[in-house]
Amino acid sequence: MSNNNVRDLRITGSSSAAGGYYRNVSITGEVQISGDISCEIFRGTGDTNVSGAFEAKITRITGTTVVNGDIATDRLTVHGELKAMGNVTLNDAKIGGHVIVRQNLTSEEIKLHGLISVDGDCAIDHLRGKGAFEIQGLLNVGQMDLDLYWPSRAREIGGEQINVRKPQGMASMLKSLLDIFKTQPDSRLIADSIEGDDIHLENTSAKIVRGNRVTIGSGCVIERVEYRSSYQQAPDSSVEQCIQT
């Protein structure tokens, strides 16, 4: 990708292009890319469909991009929708829209102001922001600091520091949608098990929570808590069984 002879790809309107190696890719409109594509910078505005795998150093998506293979990118910014039929590997991501992954997602850091949907497992070193997630498998997270703005779900969550809070203020775009539909989503996290070192939960339903220092904040429904060194519980939360191990 560092070859100076590598060409750019710029498309405006409705068209198609072959995959291959490019320096900069800029797409505005409705475009079909056949095969794998690899580039330095990808900018997609409109509707892009890649029939193969996708690789880029920097990826910026405004609109809808569908990749029918794996995605690997160092830096990802989404203000629209990104859908991957394969695995997704990231270093740094800012998600202000919806990212859909049909297999597994791996990332060093994600700043979330939207929604992540993963059919497989998800491994993130640092997840922070305001948004929601739907993970069918395991969420393995080093540090999670998240305000829930929509219902969220994971089968299992494991990490070092897990901090889940109820919404502190309504985001402007979400508030506009709620005003239109006159509905208020139940911004609740549902999981079979949550395990970590430091855990602080609000608006969470779980079968079991295990940790060293555990705080069950407001609005939780937990079947069983196992803690080692410290435990706190809000008066409006329900915990059926709590034991120190």
Domain regions of the chain by residue span: 1-103, 138-245
Percentage of the chain lying above the pLDDT 70 cut: 91
**What is the pLDDT at residue 167?**
83
C-alpha pair distances (Å), 52 with each of 23, 33, 34, 80, 119? 18, 8, 7, 20, 19
Which among 121, 125, 122, 97 has a CA at the least distance from the CA of 109? 125
| pLDDT reading at 57 higher than 70 | yes
Tokens at 209, concatenated = 């929570």
Segment (H or E) for 43: strand 24-50
Using 50, 70 and 90 to split pLDDT, how confident is the model at 173?
very low
The answer to whether 239 and 220 have CB atoms below 8 angstroms apart is yes
Q: Over range 163-185, report the average pLDDT.
A: 59
Residue type, 213: R
Beta bridge partners of 201: 164, 216
For the segment 69-102, what is each residue's pLDDT rounded down to a tens digit? 999 999 999 999 999 999 999 999 999 999 999 9
pLDDT the model gives residue 6: 80
Encoding tokens for residue 74? 């160092």
Query: How confident is the model at residue 4, as a pLDDT?
Result: 58
Q: Which residues of 66-90 are buried (b: 16+ CB within 10 A; e: fewer)?
A: bbbbbbbbeebbbebbbbbbbbbbb
- Residue 174 clears pLDDT 80, i.e. is over it: no
pLDDT band at 172 (very low <50, low <70, confident <90, very high): very low
Band the pLDDT of 170: cuts 50, 70, 90. Answer: low
Q: What is the pTM of this model?
A: 0.89
What sign results for the dihedral spanned by CA atoms 17, 19, 25, 26? positive
- 2-11, 79-88, 120-129: range with lowest mean pLDDT: 2-11
Q: Which amino acid is at 208?
A: I
From CA 100, how far away is CA 61, in angstroms rounded? Answer: 13
Angle in degrees, CA 49, 53, 56, rounded to 5: 90
Task: Give the 3-state secondary structure of 103-171.
Answer: CCEEEEEEEECCEEEECCCEEEEEEEEEEEEEEEEEEEEEEEEEEECCCEEEEEEEEEEEEEECCCCCC
